[in-house]
Amino acid sequence: MQVAKFLRLPGCAFALALATTPAIAADYTIDLSHSFIQFRISHLGYSVLNGRFNDFAGTLQWDKAKPAASNIALTIKTASIDSNWAERDKHIRSKDFLEVEKFPDASFKSTKFTGDATAGKLEGELTLHGVTKPVTLDVKAVGEGDDPWGGYRAGFTGTTTLKRGDFGINYNLGPSAETMQFDLFVEGIKKK
């Protein structure tokens, strides 16, 4: 009887370990045709310049039941900057700003999410212009569900404000352009 009792313990311990193991969120691939990284910055205090990065890739892990287990990783090709004016884009790619030949990639890797399945704060490490700094995005869930092609999708928005100088981008654009806002729109397709 003692032997039978002893043999049952490993099974119980294994079941207990499974029950207490943190859930791993589902993996999603970011759908670039429905995702955007945009920015806004003051132009001399007279107007607002909008732009975007056209080339980026990444992955997302998401579980609506356990949002704290969620994370995102993005790699952005800095030369894909698009401000709707070719000459300005050429200048932004130069050593005055992004130095795309020296720093061809920027990246963001989340480290912590605090909130619920509808909204929260996403903390992470942003590497831009060769400098890595912690940033926090205000994140909102847009929605999720089945798509018409047999897949499952989830979409989110995120916003943060950065100081250019924190990343070594110090070209003088006037005091109103020291900060810039970044808006992230992500739609992920659940991996099968």
pLDDT in tens, 140-189: 999 999 999 999 999 999 999 999 999 999 999 989 999 999 999 999 99
pLDDT in tens, 40-51: 999 988 999 999
Element (H, E) at 124: strand 119-128
* pLDDT score, position 56: 97
CB 153 within 8 A of CB 138: no
- CATH superfamily entry for domain 23-190: Lipid/polyisoprenoid-binding, YceI-like (2.40.128.110)
Amino acid at 9: L
Domain locations in the chain? 23-190
* pLDDT score, position 44: 86
> Which pTM does this prediction carry?
0.84
* pLDDT score, position 24: 67
In terms of C-beta density within 10 A (0-12 exposed, 13-18 middle, 19 or more buried), how is residue 166 classed?
middle
In terms of C-beta density within 10 A (0-12 exposed, 13-18 middle, 19 or more buried), how is residue 58 classed?
buried
Residues in the chain: 192
Give helix then strand counts, H and E, for the chain: 2, 11
* pLDDT score, position 96: 96
